[in-house]
Amino acid sequence: MASTRPYNYLPGLIIYHILQLLPTKLAAQASFVSKQWAEAWSSILVFDFKEGDPYNHDGKFRLRMRYQGDAKVLDAWLRSAVERSVKELDIRLGNVPTVKPYCLPQTLFDAKLLTTLSLEGVRIEDNADQPISLPSLKSMSFKMVDFEGMALSNLISGCPWIEHLSLNLCDLGSWTWKLKISSSSLKSFEIFDCYSRHIEVEAKNLESFKFDSDFELLESMALFDCTNLKCINIFSQHLQHLILYALCQNSVEATINTPNLHSFDFSGYLMANVSMAPLKYLSDATLILLDHIRGPAFSLPLNHFSTLRDYLEHFDCSKKLKLYIHDAEGVMFPEDFREAFPSPLPNLKHLNIVMNSAVEGIKSELMESLHWMAPSVENPSIESLSRTNSSSTIT
């Protein structure tokens, strides 16, 4: 029986596979061959607008192009990608100096199945009245992205399961107010050469924090409630105030290079694996050590005093040091240790010790230890907090 199909007929599945093997630009052109090819093109889940790159994973949208102001075209492509339930979105735009960067449409912020978002050379507006719902998103990477106002904070609040966030050469939009990153799911956070005066991070499950920036106007940074933090890398030539609060991992490894730091506040366990550049401009340091807040039965580890001495040595250049401990035994260096090791704070002028326990009966021994620890301090201040929340100062 003679076939009634045209001589150029191909099964739809074959056409679909052919289009998958073509770069997206050629596949789009091939869709004009016939209605059958156009229908196959409409079912493609993968967009790749960079010539020559292979693509093998369904649900991925990749775009590489020089943006010249054709926002309507990009809006249509993104809308189509969201309608096809893409899982990975990767957009990198090269901008023309005279053209304002492309502003992402609101459609993108309602992609329910999107898991990975990577953006470069775009702009995100601060639309507080527009809801953001990205319930599946776990990883976001931004490079040269301009965030207007509170756009970044609003975006993160709409990602309840975000685990990784990377910011590179971005304008974070907080020139006059404090940028706050708050997420209970965030595990890894990286910031490289971004523009912001104040940065505050609150993330109880954060495990890794990396910051590297030479932005001259950066003034302060704070990490709050990061109880699972294991790795800290902070490099900033201009940072003036640093707060590390509630760092509760004994195994935390920290590298801090902030030579122009003026104040440093730390609350957590002694960091055995810490590397700090000289802090020659430090004027005020506050250290709240949680090592001894374990009840009266707690006994100090064998390496406690060597770890404490090495840690305190970083703050010798500070004008004032305030040290919070649970009991006096935590800073009562044994006599044989004092004879074997040099003082950690030979140049410190003002020392204030605050403890929960009383000092009656051990004052003399405590003062000997403090004079060895900070020999230039004439009258160390010791504040003892009683169980009735009253306090007294002994000099």
Which domains, from first to last, does the chain contain? Answer: 11-44 (no CATH), 52-173 (3.80.10)
What values do phi and psi take at 165, rounded to 5? -135, 125
> Tell me, what's the pLDDT at 63?
83
Structural element, H or E, at residue 364: helix 363-373
> Tell me, what's the pLDDT at 59?
78
> Tell me, what's the pLDDT at 328?
85
CB 268 within 8 A of CB 248: yes
Token readout for 150 is 């509170």
**Termini Cα distance of the chain:** 111
Going by their DSSP bridges, the two strands 263-268 and 253-257 should be labelled as unpaired
The neighbour count for residue 60, using CB atoms within 10 Å, is 18
Q: What is the DSSP string of 101-127?
A: PEEPPGGGGG-TT--EEEEESEEE---
> Tell me, what's the pLDDT at 242?
95
Rg for the chain, CA atoms, rounded: 29
The neighbour count for residue 57, using CB atoms within 10 Å, is 9
Q: Residues 175-210: pLDDT tens digits?
A: 656 788 999 999 999 999 988 888 999 999 999 999
What values do phi and psi take at 104, rounded to 5? -65, 135
- Tokens 């030539």 correspond to 237
Structural element, H or E, at residue 21: helix 12-21
Alpha carbons 142 and 117: distance in angstroms, whole number: 8
The residue among 135, 72, 139 whose CA lies nearest residue 109 is 135
Q: Please list the ranges in the chain whose pLDDT falls under 50.
A: 1-3, 7, 45-46, 51-57, 293-297, 387-395
The residue among 231, 225, 230 whose CA lies nearest residue 244 is 225
Three-state DSSP at 70 gives: coil
The alpha carbon of 167 is separated from its chain's Cα centroid by a whole number of angstroms, namely 9
- 77-84 long-range contacts, CB within 8 A, separation 24+: 77/47, 78/104, 78/105, 78/107, 78/108, 79/105, 79/107, 81/47, 82/107, 82/108, 82/110, 82/111, 82/114, 84/45, 84/59
CB 320 within 8 A of CB 285: yes
Structural element, H or E, at residue 192: strand 188-192
Alpha carbons 133 and 109: distance in angstroms, whole number: 6
> Tell me, what's the pLDDT at 55?
39
> Tell me, what's the pLDDT at 245?
85
